[in-house]
Amino acid sequence: MLNFLRRFIYQFKEYFLLVILIVISLSLLASNEKPEIKKIRTFALGSFAAVNNLLNFFTGVFSTDPSIDQLKEENAKLMLELNRLRKQGVENQNLRNMLSVPDTSKYDLIAADVISKLVNKIQGNIILNKGADDGIQVGMPVLNSNGLVGIISDVTENFSVTKTLFNSSLNIAVTVQNINVDGVLSWNGNELIIKNIPTTYEIKVGEKVETSDFSTLLPPNIPIGVISKKESLALGLLHTIYVKPFADIRSVSNVYVLKVVPSKQINQLEMNLMK
């Protein structure tokens, strides 16, 4: 085997040497920035492109079927149409889920679409395509098929602003469903938390959190989320509870506005606390 390689290399050594010298020359040509070399390089690349284009033209006459380009164009159009249908399918599923909300509610619901999202770490707001002309007022709860999304904070004739759960100025009276422990839910910039819950209560991860009977701003028993974890403070007397919301606030697109008007005086006091 070694003898064969020696004979092969010896027989074609001139060609090997030529290839090596060409590679070295091209490398030096590509790395040289002198004006004369740049002109040579530009001319070489232009000549190569012209020859390559001519070869592609002649080979294309015999090998390319014009219908292939049409099929590629149709494929691109079908891809765009499929993507549009997928998006509509997701919206359709969301609307179907919303229609499954029980009809036993004693409050009227106003369906609305989210037309803008202003969600950052501190101030999470969304804008709805319904306003005062549709019967929406400040203080009305906003929810989707999963749970509470936020509260109407500002209204114009045709639009309204919702302070979402991911807004640090929104504080909601809540209760842990199974053990009736009350607290105030707030957004700390990263997670929803309930502070200062006594450690004497046996609070478990996975328990559901809903609006409290003590809230005069929101009707009771609106689902909010589940407890994801809990932490004890330094002295071990109080808990901080972390809540994962049922509603996906950042991707919500269709909502209901709960048409319930609380007491104007109490509503004004609580809305002032949220500012």
Q: How do the domains of the chain map onto residue ranges? A: 2-63, 70-100, 109-274
Cβ neighbors of 137 (< 8 A, separation 6 or more) are 152, 155, 261
Q: How many helical (H) and strand (E) elements, i.e. helices and strands, does the chain have?
A: 5, 12
Cβ neighbors of 189 (< 8 A, separation 6 or more) are 121, 122, 168
- Torsion 169-173-175-181 (CA) sign: positive
195 and 183 Cβ atoms separated by less than 8 Å: yes
User: Which CATH architecture does the domain made up of 109-274 adopt?
Assistant: Beta Barrel (2.40)
Per-position pLDDT tens, the chain of length 275: 667 667 767 777 777 777 787 777 666 665 666 666 666 666 665 665 566 666 666 555 555 556 666 776 677 667 667 767 776 777 777 776 666 554 444 567 888 999 988 766 677 899 999 999 999 999 999 998 888 999 999 999 999 999 999 998 899 999 888 778 888 999 988 899 998 888 888 888 889 999 888 777 788 888 899 999 988 876 778 888 999 999 888 888 889 898 886 654 445 555 555 45
d(C-alpha 36, C-alpha 113), whole Å: 65
pTM listed for this prediction? 0.59
First to last CA, the chain: 86
d(C-alpha 12, C-alpha 8), whole Å: 6
d(C-alpha 27, C-alpha 41), whole Å: 11
d(C-alpha 257, C-alpha 140), whole Å: 7
245 and 147 Cβ atoms separated by less than 8 Å: yes
